[in-house]
Chain A
Amino acid sequence: MSDQLAISVRGLRKSYGEHVAVAGLDLTVRAGEVFALLGPNGAGKTTTVEILEGYRHRDGGEVDVLGVDPNTAGRDWRSRVGIVLQGTGEFDDLTVGEVVDHFAAFYPNPDDPRQVIGRVGLTDKTRARTHTLSGGQKRRLDVALGIIGRPELLFLDEPTTGFDPEARREFWELIRDLAAAGTTIVLTTHYLDEAESLADRVGVIAAGQLVEVSTPAELGNRQQALPVVSWRTPDGTPQRAESATPTALIAELAARYGGEVPGLTVTRPTLEDVYLRMIGQS
């Protein structure tokens, strides 16, 4: 990871008629980092990402992606950026191999199509027509098309939708490989475990603004958050207490109940708890 910026966004604004999709968003992504954008549907994730990808025009703000304004970016810039859009693309009557081969020729220095098909786990489907693929397999084809040009910067918009758990783990490995090779990755996702396991930093978008950016472990001061001790009273009523000294509390409870504390658990807030609190308060 370096201090160079792959993406720098200042005061980004975009409205659709009356609806404000992005309301003054600031964002920086360092070269070589894996950055995850989290946020509920309609928070402005896809709008933001598609502005960065050069698909949409912004109403205001400054955007710099790999040193270029995506609005005016040309073919050279496009060859440095890989894009995996939300949803699946359908290429009628072509095979997986043909589509990947075809896209490879658009790039100045493409990866080997066969290897890329292997990396996304579609080798068995190389000769299959794309319309016969399952939803998850179509998604993998999209990922293959996103990385075939050996991008410096890869955008992934909800990439693992429709993946089974095993496919998701394989995909995570692929992303780690790409990141290890120096690719900057910007990922939007609904899956908090995905963000937690892949991202160097996480940004939470709510109502068109970035409400917080930090490492997954520190998000929402998660590490400073007080552990929660829960138990049941003998008549079965659930009890719950936040405590900076949970061990002491448990010792006290043990003394009170004479040994075992019924239904005892000690938890720290999960990323999901923190996240839900953050988007709830916005």
Chain B
Amino acid sequence: MSTTTEAAPVAVPSRTSPIELGLRQGRLELRQFLRSRESVVFTMLFPVVLILTFASIFKGEIGGGVKFTQYFVTGMIATGLLTVGFQSLAIQIPIERDRGVLKRLRGTPMPKWVYFAGKTIMVAVIGVAETVLLLAVAVLLFDLKLPDTATRWLTFGWVSALGITACTLCGIAFSSLARSGRSAPSTVTPVALILQFISGVFFVFTDLPTWMQQVAAIFPLKWMCQGLRSVFLPDSFGAQEPAGSYELGKVALVLAAWCVIGLVLCLRTFRWTTKRDG
């Protein structure tokens, strides 16, 4: 992390290009993340620990020669993306707001979007790393069957990308709810936990009461899990979904809608200063 290349006096007055500003912001965010050992360990290992726990509890098959781990890994991937996109940002941003980081950035000529680009880059890199780690552990220890067709990989890609985007935008929007950095974890954790319970992360989704399934269907996590099930489970399992199929069109639609909702909320409600700053 030497700074020698960037420290040289600028000979010709010129702005750093906007793209480079975004990338720099992303690098800075990642550097901060990597230096905070607790967040690295907890964020990266959370889905792995979950799958280890689940594999120890549910040893059998869910049916049709498909192991429980094959089913639950979809929920673990989705919950990992939720943690890194939604939960971590909804906690981290109020802390930065409290510490005056946001206010100081706002006082510079930095374009506002650069800050969000930095967070997005950080979330994307961690999300990919964490998912790869989870899949590696599941393949090595539990014979997880990876997607076997290009179409499935493609689905895996867009469901994850759309899902993590929705989570990131909602996390940034949610960050304006917390009154202070200290209250942020207690504001966001119950939301994330309840979503995980009702969206089929910890249970087979169709085993849940119908009303719970209907509530879950309002939020993105259920659709991320469902989209990922279409990637990791046989096509024939689609018939057991609530609607009788994986409904990939609807998955795309709901996740895209949450991206729009999140974006609108971000643009309208994001605060660079704390409430007591007026």
Contacts and interface: CB of A to CB of B under 8 A. Distances in A.
Interface of A: 16, 47, 50, 53-56, 75-76, 78-79, 81, 83, 85, 87-94, 97-98, 101-114, 142, 145, 149
B3 A97 contact: yes
A155 B214 CA distance: 54
A56 B271 CA distance: 12
Interface stretch (B24-32, B73-81, B259-267): B24-32
A78 B109 contact: yes
Given A85-B104, A98-B1, A98-B31, A107 B7 contact: no
Contacts of A97: 3, 7
Nearest to B104: A89
Given A16-B278, A92-B99, A75 B1 contact: no
A104 B15 CA distance: 10
A91 B16 CA distance: 22
14 contacts: A55-B103, A75-B111, A81-B107, A83-B104, A85-B103, A93-B31, A94-B31, A106-B21, A106-B108, A106-B110, A108-B14, A111-B9, A113-B7, A142-B104
A90 B107 contact: no
B104 A106 contact: no
B101 to A, nearest CB: 6
Contacts of B32: 92-94
A83 B7 CA distance: 21
B273 A94 contact: no
A113 B13 CA distance: 15
Contacts of A79: 108-109
Nearest to A92: B32
Contacts of B36: 92-93
A204 to B, nearest CB: 23
Contacts of B104: 83, 85, 89, 142, 145
B41 interface: no
Given A53-B107, A88-B100, 13 more contacts: A55-B106, A78-B107, A85-B103, A85-B107, A87-B100, A93-B36, A104-B6, A107-B109, A108-B15, A108-B109, A109-B10, A112-B8, A142-B104
A102 B31 CA distance: 12
B15 A112 contact: no
Interface string B218-261: 00000000000000000000000000000000000000000000
Given A89-B103, A98-B31, A105-B16, A110 B10 contact: yes
B268 interface: no
B109 A106 contact: yes
Nearest to B108: A106
Nearest to B24: A105
A55 B10 contact: no
A98 B108 contact: no
Contact of A112 (B9, B13, B16, B100): B9
Contacts of B10: 109-110
B153 to A, nearest CB: 35
A81 to B, nearest CB: 8
B277 interface: yes
Nearest to A97: B3
Given A93-B35, A112-B9, A102 B107 contact: no
B259 to A, nearest CB: 27
Which A-B residue pairs are the 8 nearest by beta carbons? A89-B100, A109-B13, A93-B35, A90-B99, A79-B109, A78-B109, A75-B109, A83-B107
